[in-house]
Structure 1
């Protein structure tokens, strides 16, 4: 994915794929986002992608500017496991702290994503984020095998988010930057 995309920056390892190339049908056609936790160096590097944690996207180099902060509501997810074992999706929300001059964790949530038996007619699972996922400068996703902690490839689509700062001046600032 190119950086920035809709004003947000994405870590190395994120890509868009047509859903015909993977087992999960897209909620918002035509593509599904995929994250490759290992081997992300196989994908072309994007500007500022290395400044984000693995599986994170957010304000990136603009994290200190609340005009680029957002509220995360929900999304659809699937894991690329063997079709037998569920996976654990860990979601971490970050907010820029002016005193520390860096992002700190302000929200965490773990969700179990069911397996897709035999990779036939797979459906992404809707996940509602808890109320702590507001005023974020970044959000990080990681998936691992249930109870084993082995990193897994995951897919996501149709994230429901909105801007935290909806003031006129914040909107004008965003209009001036990609």
Structure 2
């Protein structure tokens, strides 16, 4: 079929948005994700900030995304964020519209723990089921994010997602202390994705929404 509008591969870098205040170097410039961002919605707890304010250099400069599981309830609620699962990125209120479904290939992650203990990253892929009228799990994967000892010379870890992470309406990331299961914050950058529906109609729909 002919391709037009917005289609194909894309990377979420979180770099094309202003963060915090430029008038003071004493304020941590944490900015809540705006919904939608690049056509996708983000659960409460997602923020983005310049990498100079955290120990993991961004894969693409200058910003990284950060998920704050414990503090999510304290952040200002963004439109439709409350309808998302904890740590989820996806089509959100448009989950039933496959023009906003995507393939997820890889991403870069760093764990905001104590610099000593690694984290386990739990990744779940969801697809909207029209019969159940809700998203259901279609893919799951775990990855170990190594500790950055004393936060010196930190590097984000690339995680490649399995072949089942295709045709998704949502993808969920949650990090926990290795072998202890305590929720942890994590940094994320350069999510490599592709629009699943490459038809002309879907591409045109994505242009303005």
Q: Which band: TM-score by shorter chain?
A: over 0.9
Distance 2:208 2:157 in 1: 35
Deviation of the 1:176 alpha carbon:
2.7
Of 28, 32, 37, 2:64 maps to 32
Find the counterpart in structure 1 of residue 169 from structure 2. 137
Please, what is the CA RMSD of the aligned residues? 0.6
TM-score, length basis structure 2:
0.84
1:147 aligns with 2:160: no
Please give the per-residue CA displacement for 1:24-80, whole angstroms capped at 9, x wherever unaligned.
Answer: 000011101000001112322110000000100100000000000000000000101
Distance 1:21 1:176 in 2: 33
Please give the per-residue CA displacement for 1:83-112, whole angstroms capped at 9, x wherever unaligned.
Answer: 111110000000000000000000000000
1:3-22 mapped onto 2 (5 Å cutoff): 3-22=35-54
Find the counterpart in structure 2 of residue 127 from structure 1. 159
Distance 2:196 2:169 in 1: 10
1:70 aligns with 2:102: yes
Matched residue SS, 1:158:
strand
1:94 aligns with 2:123: no
Moved over 3 A (4+): none
TM-score, length basis structure 1:
0.98
Distance 1:153 1:112 in 2: 14
Deviation of the 1:117 alpha carbon:
0.2
Of 71, 80, 84, 1:52 maps to 84
Matched residue SS, 1:121:
coil
Matched residue SS, 1:15:
strand
Deviation of the 1:161 alpha carbon:
0.3
Unaligned runs of 5+ in 2: 1-32
* Equivalenced residues, count: 177
Unaligned runs of 5+ in 1: none
